[in-house]
Amino acid sequence: MSLSLDLPGPLVGVEWLAERLGSADLLVLDASVGGHRREVPAIPGARLFDLDGPMSDRSSPLPHTMPGAEELARELRALGLNASSTVVVYDNAGIYSSARAWWMLRAVGFDRVAVLDGGLPAWSAAGLPEQTELQHPAAPGTFTARPQPGMFVDSRAVLAALSDPSASVLDARAHERYTGEAPEPREGLRGGHMPGARNLPFTALQDATGRLLPPEELRSRFGPTPSQLLFSCGSGVTACVLALGATVAGLDGASQLAVYDGSWSEWGLPSDLPVVTGP
């Protein structure tokens, strides 16, 4: 008897996935970034959601920019995505870039998607099967995009939110980058943060094993809930970890959640966009 593919929420554990691996409508996507190597272990049957390649807008000068909905839908169909699919996405760092893939899928109207809690490290630690090559789909899928406006925002929306008492901008970068004490890893960017933005490093939402904290602990990390929460980071990747954490915490019912797609890769460029340093 096959097990149901109904997702328990935006997160699934390795046991949930292991019990359903190989199901006809299950699509497992590896969203690892940083030059995924074929010799890196992969979950059996996983396909590459390539954020360093076609899953980002290749015409943009900024890294990891959200593609247009139709362009992304084409790439998702090439991975075999159907309307009836259930998707589990993971990465090889724990919960890092997998949340970006989760947010992107939801932004084009695909909701049957969850992040693997703890990612590939949790899978490996459980002693579950691995393979060294990612799978290529046998046939394209039939998914059609249904864009969800407002899930990604630009610098104008962030500027407005910074002066809006009913909104909060959260910066997912490490504290030393937020204060400007540590240099930015991308050349040419100013150090510091947006005036009025609050620092919440994405790692503060995870335990020592790389799994997300329980919902009540996540809620305490976010603090008071405004009507709008905007998330930023270095290039729009770990900002999505905050979006995932806020969703698991149940904050999406009280706040509109949005990711600043350009993040510091855009805001930190020399421009009139305001930057401050220090705490």
Residue with tokens 């096959």: 2
User: What confidence category does residue 135 fall into, taking pLDDT thresholds of 50, 70 and 90?
Assistant: confident
Residue 134: per-residue pLDDT: 87
Which is nearest to 51 in space by CA: 37, 66, 40?
66
Catalytic residue among 115, 230, 233, 241: 233
Residue 31 is encoded by which pair of tokens?
Answer: 């969203």
Give me the residues paired with residue 259 across strands: 152, 231
User: Is 90 exceeded by the pLDDT of residue 36?
Assistant: no
Mean of pLDDT values over 150-162: 97
What would the CATH number be for the domain defined by 11-125?
3.40.250.10
CA 99, 101, 104, 108 torsion: positive or negative? negative
Q: Which residues contact 195 (CB under 8 A, 6 or more apart)?
A: 162, 274, 275, 276
Indicate the domain borders of the chain: 11-125, 152-267
Q: Could you tell me the pLDDT band of residue 132, with boundaries at 50, 70 and 90? A: confident
Amino acid residing at 191: G
pLDDT given for residue 49 in this prediction: 96
Report the pLDDT value the prediction gives residue 207, as an integer from 0 to 100: 97
Q: pLDDT at position 40, please?
A: 73
Q: pLDDT category, 1, cuts 50, 70, 90?
A: low
CA-CA distances (angstroms) from residue 84 to 6, 25, 142, 244, 275?
Answer: 11, 7, 9, 23, 45
What pLDDT does 39 receive?
Answer: 56
Global confidence as pTM: 0.96
Band of residue 2 on the pLDDT scale cut at 50, 70, 90 = confident
Of the candidates 147, 159, 142, 117, the one whose C-alpha atom is nearest the C-alpha of residue 248 is 117
Identify how many contiguous H helices and E strands the chain contains and give both numbers: 9, 10
pLDDT for residue 136: 86
Structure confidence at residue 35 (pLDDT): 56
Residue range 155-166: mean pLDDT, rounded: 97
pLDDT at 182: 96
**pLDDT value for 98:** 98
Question: Is-contact 197 230, C-beta < 8 A?
Answer: no
Class of domain 152-267: alpha beta
Domains 11-125 and 152-267 share a fold: yes
Decide: 243 and 40 in contact? Cβ < 8 Å: no
Distance from C-alpha of 219 to C-alpha of 247, rounded to nearest angstrom = 10
- Convert the pLDDT of each residue in 224-272 to its tens digit: 989 999 999 999 999 999 999 999 999 998 899 999 999 999 999 999 9
- Give residue 138's pLDDT: 80
**113 closest CA partner among 18, 5, 255:** 5
Residue 62: the pLDDT is 95
Banded model confidence at residue 57, pLDDT cuts 50, 70, 90: very high
**Side-chain half-sphere CA neighbours of 208 within 13 A:** 0
Residue type, 88: V
Q: Convert the pLDDT of each residue in 80-120 to its tens digit.
A: 999 999 999 999 999 999 999 999 999 999 999 999 999 99
Which residues are 30's β-sheet partners? Answer: 48, 90
Helices 215-222 and 239-248 meet at what angle, rounded to 10?
A: 120
Give Cα 41 to chain centroid, integer Å. Answer: 21
* pLDDT above 60 (res 38): no
**Contact residues for 105 (Cβ-Cβ < 8 A; gap 6+):** 76, 87, 89, 113
Report the chain's mean pLDDT, rounded to a whole number. Answer: 95
pLDDT of residue 146: 98
User: Is 233 known to be catalytic?
Assistant: yes
Secondary structure letter of residue 90 according to DSSP: E
Instruction: Quote the pLDDT of residue 133.
Output: 85
